[in-house]
Chain A
Amino acid sequence: MNIVVCVKHVPDAQSDRGFEADHTTDREGVDGLLSELDEYAIEAALALVEAAGGEVTALTIGPDDAADAIKKALQMGADKGVHILDDAIAGSDAPATSLVLAEAITKIGEVDIVLTGMASTDGTMGVLPAMLAERLGLPQITLASELSVEGGTARIRRDGDAASESIEATLPAVVSVTDRINEPRYPSFKGIMAAKKKPVETWGLADLGVDAARVGLTGAWTRVLEVVPRPPRAAGQIITDEGAGGRALAEFLATHKFA
């Protein structure tokens, strides 16, 4: 089974995230790391390949630093990496990103499963798996909290707020997984050493036959008009309970017409 896991290098959520003057995400001023929701996808891919054989390719798009996301995937156990690196890509929106990823997946070829996390921790749109399925013409089985593959059919459990569904599709398919699917492994010392020898290819847009005009800020189908820091919340009132805290809470709620 050949699996491509799409991974993203994102600004650390614990740091002070912000925007550049052109309204794109600031990726210079803050520490980056592999989006933690992608670790679940890598783990799911490794588990499938460990059970049924095959190969896991970690695929990312991003500037130089994004190589770190591939490195982490390789350290966890992925077999090889593909890094799409091209200055023209900066500022791409989700449709452009999905275009580039779809072309890269097609170029990798012979893929049985495209695996992704449920969303990136920076953009948080959660639309990329569906866009990839649409572009690749593959079935979409997304937001899996359970995943099994048997005889060329993948089955997932998807938990919504109204129902829990079991969904099936014939491979090849695009699968996204939630943080409930598994417990991602930490890279072992052996894994870290082995990762250094694993092949990583770097491709540009020309290698994928993608016209630079279709990506980046110029190729985007949306435009940011303005980014405004939210005014800091006015410091709240904090009291210490000395026996009447509950009544004070009720009083606060009554004053604000909640109770």
Chain B
Amino acid sequence: MTEVLVLVDHIDGAVRKTTGELLTAARRLGEASAVFVGTGFEAAQADLARYGAAKVYRVEDPAVTDHLVAPTAEVLAQLVAQASPAAVLLPSSPEGKETAARLAIKTESGLITDAIDVQPGGDGVQTQQSAFAAAYTVSATITRGTPIVTIKPNSIAAEEAPGAAAEETVTVTLSEAATAARIVDRTEKAASGRPQLTEAAIVVSGGRGTGGDFNPVEAFADSLGAAVGASRAAVDAGWYPHANQVGQTGVQVSPQLYVAAGISGAIQHRAGMQTSKTIVAINKDPEAPIFELVDFGIVGDLFTVLPQATEEIQARKG
């Protein structure tokens, strides 16, 4: 069977949920081959096997991870030449999209970003995407080269299927151009103890309406095991870290449940959450545009509604 390359998203071998989703999608198109770049291979191998990677290409050269994006694209281009895969799948993270972009030019291949579904079809691979803040669904196919697709987290359900995850070490010779942008300093973000925003099944976000007090938002989120997000207004005010910003210029989330508290629902915010399956809003203003999107809305003060809901959820848990 033809190979399908999947770029593994991980932090020192801790494999992110999106990788299981990508491997699941890859198995629809052919035989899944994971491409693992960086340190922590041993920790990752079992996870990659669990989601059906038949093979894992292992690239450990620090020159690849010490430089931004371009070396990873060269690694993938080398593997595309070597394995002639049916497709290359990458996560729709900024790094995933930029790597895909360079790979597309290198291999003269069509690129589709932010796919929410991938199936065999069209001219080989058929994708679905959301456009214009999820007002449209677009089906597309790739007509040239090796289809390159980046897939949005939480769009495809990861399914386990045992694979051999057979290791194959890859040695790379990087060009000078690939190592031109040097990462000279790196500060890891402190873990919040909550689920990762793009991966979470439930996201609870706070906006300007919190007035800077995220306690009720966080307590409510924790009662649901949710990740916490924020509007740009809350981030700009310095109330919550930028890494948690949901929207056009923050992260795009697509959870089972999205709760917006004290958020008006500006188009730029909607661009980051409109594909959520179920949407709930709490807002003092009955005219707030966020109510156009909701499955359940409460016109009220988040400082009374959220604590009461949190208490009730705790009580039901017993």
Instruction: Determine whether A21 belongs to the interface, using a CB cutoff of 8 Å to chain B.
Output: no
Q: Which residue among A124, A246, A247 has the maximum number of chain B CB atoms within 10 Å of its CB?
A: A246
Let me know if B141 is at the binding interface, CB within 8 A: yes
Q: Is the interface of B mostly helix, strand, loop or mixed?
A: mixed
Known: A134-B105, A167-B183. A13 touches B268 (CB 8 A): yes
Chain A residues with CB under 8 Å of B257's CB are 253, 256, 258
Give chain B residues whose Cβ lies under 8 Å from the Cβ of A170. 180
1/0 contact string of B42-79 vs chain A (CB within 8 Å): 00000000000000000000000000111001000000
List 21 A-B pairs, Cβ < 8 Å: A18-B136, A93-B111, A126-B94, A126-B98, A126-B113, A130-B69, A130-B99, A137-B177, A140-B98, A141-B181, A159-B243, A167-B182, A169-B181, A221-B109, A221-B143, A233-B279, A238-B286, A240-B300, A241-B299, A245-B300, A246-B312
Contact A240 B286, beta carbon cutoff 8 Å: yes
How many residues of A are counted as interface, with CB atoms below 8 angstroms from the partner's CB atoms?
A: 85
> Is B249 in contact with A93, judged by CB distance below 8 angstroms?
no
Residues of B near A239 (CB, < 8 A) are: 297-299
- Chain B residues near A250: list those with CB within 8 A: 308-309, 312-313, 316
A124 to chain B: which residues have CB within 8 Å?
Answer: 114, 248, 271
Question: Which residues of A176-228 are within 8 A (CB) of B?
Answer: 178-180, 220-228
Beyond A13-B133, A130-B69, 12 additional contacts (C-beta under 8 Å) are A23-B138, A127-B97, A158-B68, A161-B196, A166-B183, A166-B184, A221-B142, A222-B112, A227-B138, A236-B291, A238-B299, A241-B301
Kindly state whether residue A168 has any CB partner on chain B within 8 Å: yes
B side interface size, CB within 8 A: 96
Interface set, chain B 188-232, CB cutoff 8 A to A = 188-189, 196-198, 202, 223-224
Alpha-carbon separation in the docked complex, A28 to B310 (Å): 49
A124 to B297, CA, bound (A): 29
**How long is the Cα–Cα vector from A253 to B313 in the complex, in angstroms?**
9
Inter-chain contacts of B99 with A (CB < 8 A): 130
- Against B, the Cβ 8 Å flags (1 = close, 0 = not) of A136-178 are 0111111101000000000100111111111111100100001
* Residue contact A167 to B113, C-beta cutoff 8 Å: no
Q: B82-103: contact bitstring with A at CB < 8 Å (1 yes, 0 no)? A: 0000000000011101111110
Chain B residues positioned under 8 Å from A98 (CB to CB): 105
Q: Indicate whether A89 reaches chain B with its CB closer than 8 angstroms.
A: no
Q: Quick check: is B144 within 8 A (CB to CB) of the other chain?
A: yes
CA of A156 to CA of B149, assembled, Å: 28
- Interface residue from B98, B187, B294, B313 paired with A238 (Cβ < 8 Å): B294
The answer on a CB contact under 8 Å between A179 and B249 is: yes
Q: Which residue from B109, B242, B278 sits with its C-beta under 8 Å from A180?
A: B242
| Contact yes or no, B249 A259, CB < 8 A | no
A148 CB to closest chain B CB (Å) equals: 13
- Do the beta carbons of B295 and A125 come within 8 Å of each other? no
Q: Is B134 an interface residue (CB 8 A)?
A: yes
Residues of chain A contacted by B145 (CB below 8 angstroms): 221
A95 to chain B, nearest CB (A): 6
Within 8 A of A (CB), among B164-189: 177, 180-189
Kindly provide the distance from the CB of B59 to the nearest chain A CB, expressed in whole angstroms.
19
Q: Say whether B108 contacts A221, CB under 8 Å.
A: yes
